Structure 1
Amino acid sequence: MRLNAIETGTGDRVVVLLHGMMGSAESWWRVAPLLVANGFRVIALDLPGHGCSPRDERCTVASAADAVVATLAACAPDAAVHGIGHSYGGTVLAAVTERMPMGQVVYVDSACAFEGGAEQRALAEQYEHDRRNRRDPAWLLSSRPFYSATDAEVEARAAERFDPMTMASISVGDDVAHEPGSGSILVRAEPSAFVSDSTAARLRAAGVDVRDIPGAAHTIWYSHFEQFRAALPEFFGST
């Protein structure tokens, strides 16, 4: 599968951006220009069933990772690729690191794991209910007061394009877990509903650089943009 990509910038220093569930490549609209300004070529991808990428009712984390690798091979052959993945996109990114050499890898509030055993259609109905709400920018602004008007428009458009059956397929099989590697970075909302304190402590002990942002929402760069930027000088420079 070849994924839809939004590409900005030039050069051989590539950052691939992988959004979370019900997001899209556009979710990085404020992050990507800052990366380009710091000398990176940015490839923001729509994961399967999101944005303008193909749907796949048999999608798995493994097949999504394969699609990312195939797309990068076509878009950026022989480039040094770094990665930033949010939530579900972090899980996919962790699987990508097992398939191709990567530079610096950042997981944004992601435990890099998915619980299996779901019934696909029932879970898809839950996602559809959430999607209907999120298609309305006004609802997003009322439920997420830290959103800007552009944030709400981008995420409402992502919800409009989201395919619940593709995403529900991820949770149908066995549990999925990909351990972040030593030297990777985890930028974590604190407190986090997705990465517990005990998980963060375990990852620190395993060599993962865990950087907490107190009070941040799950989509950290929407609620705490400047803190997110300051947490990653490797990508955004010093502030």
Structure 2
Amino acid sequence: MKLNTREWGTGDRVALLVHGIMSDHRTWRSVGPALAARGYRVIAVDLRGHGVSPRGEGADPVERYGPERYAEDLVDTLPGGAELAIGHSLGALSLLHAVERLGPARAVYSDPAWKFAQPGLFDPAVFAQFKQATREQITAVSPRWEAADVEVELATLALWDPDTAFALSGLYARAELPGPPVVPSLVQRAGNSWLIGPEDAEVLRGRGYEVRTVDGAGHTIHRDDLPGFLASLDGWL
């Protein structure tokens, strides 16, 4: 499936951005220009079921929105051999499944949704209900976001297919951390991450990932603390 994309910059180096669940390319509204200013041509996608990309097809949510489907779409849409690929949350899960075929020089997994630090925490119905969230509710959940990010969240929720959440419920019942990375890889961990706990971070380091924590930031690090997000990428940009 070909995905909708948004680009910033015209640099010789290419950076790929893959958003998390409930979002679309607009979550990178500050990151895209920041990377373009560093000489990248930045390409961000709308995953299937998000933004204006097509909805998935199939008899059930898993068939429409399984991780391998997301990965296939990334490979169909994005150029191989990019200098940098960054995936956030569900985007990090999708990138993990596609990274060997995409072959970026470096991969960054920002608070990746590979598993939950506390088993049983994931409830797809809660995610689905959030589609109806108000401006006030979004602000309460993410008090560090700029007003423009709250408006983007309202807009992206309106376009989001909640079946993407229901497709993940079985996955997280058996999810494990990934094996050794196939390209040099950084795991960027939120300070209060409910996805990658301290013990998970040590396991990932033992498997060859560099792990850095952005203290004080919530799950969407690049919206909570853009300077901290960029600073934690020192040496990876």
Q: TM-score, normalised by structure 2?
A: 0.85
Aligned to 2:27: 27
Any residues of structure 2 matched to 1:25-64 within 5 Å, and which?
25-56=25-56, 57=61, 58=63, 59-64=65-70
Residue 112 (structure 2) aligns with = 110
What whole-Å deviation, never above 9, does each CA across 1:209-237 have from its counterpart, x for those lacking one? 1011112111111112111111112455x
Look up the SS of the partner of 2:15 in the other structure: strand
Show the counterpart of 1:101.
103
Question: What is the Cα deviation at residue 147 of structure 1?
Answer: 1.1
Task: Show the 5 A alignment for 1:78-157.
Answer: 79-113=81-115, 125-133=125-133, 136-157=134-155
- In structure 2, the CA distance between the partners of 1:180 and 1:19, relative to structure 1 (3 Å rule), is farther
Q: Distance in 1 between matches of 2:179 and 2:27?
A: 25
* Partner Cα distance (1:169, 1:232) in 2: 31
The aligned counterpart of 1:17 is 17
- In 2, Cα distance between equivalents of 1:232 and 1:90: 15
What is the root-mean-square deviation in Å for CA atoms of aligned residues?
Answer: 2.3
Query: How far apart, CA to CA, are the structure 2 residues paired with 1:165 and 1:124?
Result: 9
- Count of residue pairs the alignment pairs up: 224
The percentage of aligned residue pairs carrying the same residue is: 35
Deviates more, 1:87-96 or 1:178-187: 178-187
Provide the secondary structure at the position in 2 that maps to 1:20: coil
Structure 1, 217-226 or 7-16: larger mean CA deviation: 7-16
CA contact (8 A) 2:13 2:39 kept: yes
Task: Tell me, in whole angstroms, the C-alpha distance in 2 between the residues paired with 1:25 and 1:131.
Answer: 17
Report the CA distance between 1:3 and its aligned residue.
Answer: 0.7
1:12/1:96 CA distance change after superposition, 3 Å: farther
Matched, 1:216 2:217: yes
Give the direction of change, closer, same or farther, for the CA distance of 1:223–1:80 in structure 2 (3 Å limit). Answer: closer
Question: What SS does the aligned partner of 2:101 have?
Answer: coil
Equivalent positions of 1:150-169 (< 5 A) are 150-169=148-167
Partner-residue secondary structure (3-state), 1:51: coil
What's the CA shift for 1:7? 1.3
Aligned 8 A contact 1:141 1:148 in 2: no
TM-aligned CA deviation for residue 157 of structure 1: 0.7
Post-superposition Cα deviations, 1:69-106, rounded to whole Å, max 9, x if no partner, equal 0001xxx3x65342101111101111111323121100
Superposition map of 1:149-228 within 5 A: 149-172=147-170, 175=174, 177=176, 178-179=178-179, 181=181, 183-228=184-229
Corresponding residue to 1:66 among 56, 61, 72: 72
The gaps in structure 1 that reach 5 residues or longer are none
Question: Following the alignment from structure 1 to structure 2, what is the Cα–Cα distance between the partners of residues 234 and 207?
Answer: 16
Q: Deviations over 1:143-169 (max 9, x none)?
A: 321111101011111111110123322
Moved more, 192-201 or 221-230: 221-230
* Structure 2 counterpart SS, 1:233: coil
Q: Report if the CA contact (8 A) 1:7-1:43 is conserved.
A: yes
- Structure 1 residues 111-156: Cα deviation after superposition (integer angstroms, max 9, x where no partner): 5248xxx9xxxx66443311111xx323212332111110101111
Counterparts of 1:195 and 1:137 in 2: how far apart (Å)? 28
C-alpha distance in structure 2 between counterparts of 1:145 and 1:80, whole Å: 34
Q: Structure 2: which amino acid aligns with 1:210?
A: V
Q: 1: CA distance between counterparts of 2:81 and 2:12? A: 5
Measure, in 1, the Cα distance between the counterparts of 2:46 and 2:83.
17
Moved more, 170-179 or 209-218: 170-179
Gaps of 5+ in 2: none
